[in-house]
């Protein structure tokens, strides 16, 4: 408890776990292995948007906050204007100008390893009404109101007050610890569990590293529902390296890594059917660690998808989860805040996956696939640098 008290003081909360914590009275959504959905997920199988217990809880609480004026703007009741751009990539463009104008001003980011700064905005400072619930893994969690639960909440779901889409939330692992925006193994595992808790192929989870348009340096991932198929769900890929890293005692078991084919390529793909979530989290954590050591900013995207291959053997399957990590050029400092403002969209959380939130009606109506790929190319690693990284990933898989 002494360690928790020190961490609490560092982020400005009550070291005794009192009501200063915004999640102190939040309900707990408890889940266990039996709640994870590993079969029967298909587009068109459920149009209600509340197919699982998790979907129902999230969307009900989220809609309640929307009706209560918790957000900076309302999403249209009929959904955001959306269109598919002509071309083989089938990008999904959505007109969402208010997100560009009404969102919180991003923090100045100077380094991929920038430490957490408790005096700046962080998620311990949000109003209590923005917390949807605490996440309790394993089927049980201390009741809200108990000091340990308040001070050491293992993970929160809070609303994103500038939503991309319906159900847009932030997953905040271990909020009281004041973790910087660097992926931890448990954060990846939590993200995977959220996707498997949903029966909706529309539910996606993403992450922006520092230097890749993360706007708050407090560990968080995004989750939201996008009711449009993405080509990423079945995009072809080729395997890289062995299926296991080492075979002796104490060796790490890493899942196979695949390379996405075609633009927007230069992404590293890991697939899981849900039976190996700790190994999937370990694999992504190892890949992310390599990128941090290389000082490479990155975007991560998780979605329901088919097993990898070229071509995929079961392209319509959505029972498993595809996890794609894109290393990219960094956007740091004051220049990074303004960079890309003249473009129709920023390359951040979801754009490389094929979902394009557009800032204004003119770009929304005129944007082409060619222009999208041209914009993405500015932020992806050059081919030569990516090839060098692939060599290092291959060596990583052998360790």
DSSP state of 380: B
Can you tell me the distance from the alpha carbon of 302 to that of 258, in angstroms, rounded to the nearest whole number?
15
Buried-state track 64-85, b at ≥16 Cβ within 10 A, e below 16: ebbeeeebeeebeeeebebbeb
Q: Do the Cβ atoms of 241 and 397 come closer than 8 Å?
A: yes
On the question of a cis peptide bond just before residue 311, with omega within 30 degrees of 0, the verdict is yes
Say how many CA atoms lie within 13 Å of 136 toward its Cβ: 14
Nearest C-alpha neighbor of 111 from the set 203, 41, 181, 54: 181
**Mind telling me the catalytic residues?**
220
Strands 155-159 and 203-208, by their bridges, are unpaired
On the question of a cis peptide bond just before residue 264, with omega within 30 degrees of 0, the verdict is yes
Can you tell me the distance from the alpha carbon of 301 to that of 324, in angstroms, rounded to the nearest whole number?
5
Nearest C-alpha neighbor of 149 from the set 23, 58, 61: 23
């Amino acid at each position: 408890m002494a360690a928790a008290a020190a961490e609490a003081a560092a982020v400005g909360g009550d070291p005794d776990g009192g009501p200063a914590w915004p999640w102190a009275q939040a309900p707990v959504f408890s889940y266990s292995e039996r709640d994870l959905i590993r079969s029967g997920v298909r587009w068109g199988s459920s149009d209600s948007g509340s197919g699982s217990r998790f979907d129902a809880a999230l969307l009900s609480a989220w809609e309640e906050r929307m009706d209560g004026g918790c957000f900076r703007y309302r999403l249209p009741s009929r959904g955001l204007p959306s269109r598919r751009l002509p071309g083989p990539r089938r990008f999904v463009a959505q007109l969402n100008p208010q997100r560009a104008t009404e969102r919180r001003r991003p923090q100045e980011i100077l380094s991929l390893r920038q430490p957490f700064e408790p005096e700046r905005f962080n998620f311990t400072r949000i109003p209590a009404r923005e917390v949807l619930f605490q996440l309790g893994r394993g089927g049980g969690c201390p009741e809200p109101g108990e000091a340990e639960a308040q001070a050491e909440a293992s993970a929160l779901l809070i609303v994103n007050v500038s939503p991309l889409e319906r159900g847009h939330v932030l997953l905040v692992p271990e909020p009281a610890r004041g973790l910087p925006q660097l992926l931890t193994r448990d954060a990846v595992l939590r993200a995977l569990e959220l996707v498997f808790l949903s029966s909706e192929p529309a539910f996606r989870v993403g992450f922006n590293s520092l230097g890749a348009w993360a706007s708050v340096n407090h560990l968080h991932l995004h989750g939201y529902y996008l009711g449009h198929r993405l080509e990423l769900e079945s995009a072809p890929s080729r395997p890289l390296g062995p299926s296991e890293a080492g075979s002796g005692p104490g060796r790490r078991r890493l899942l196979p890594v695949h390379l996405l084919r075609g633009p927007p390529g230069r992404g590293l793909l890991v697939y899981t059917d849900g039976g190996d979530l700790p190994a999937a989290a370990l694999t992504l954590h190892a890949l992310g660690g390599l990128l941090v050591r290389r000082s490479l900013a990155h975007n991560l995207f998780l979605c329901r998808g088919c097993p990898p291959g070229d071509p995929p053997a079961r392209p319509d399957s959505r029972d498993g989860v595809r996890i794609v990590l894109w290393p990219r050029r960094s956007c740091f400092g004051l220049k990074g805040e303004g960079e890309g403002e003249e473009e129709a969209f920023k390359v951040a959380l979801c754009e490389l996956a094929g979902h394009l939130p557009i800032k204004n009606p003119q770009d929304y109506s005129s944007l082409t696939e060619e222009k999208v790929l041209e914009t993405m190319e500015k932020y992806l690693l050059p081919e030569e640098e990516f090839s060098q990284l692939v060599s290092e990933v291959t060596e990583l898989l052998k360790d």
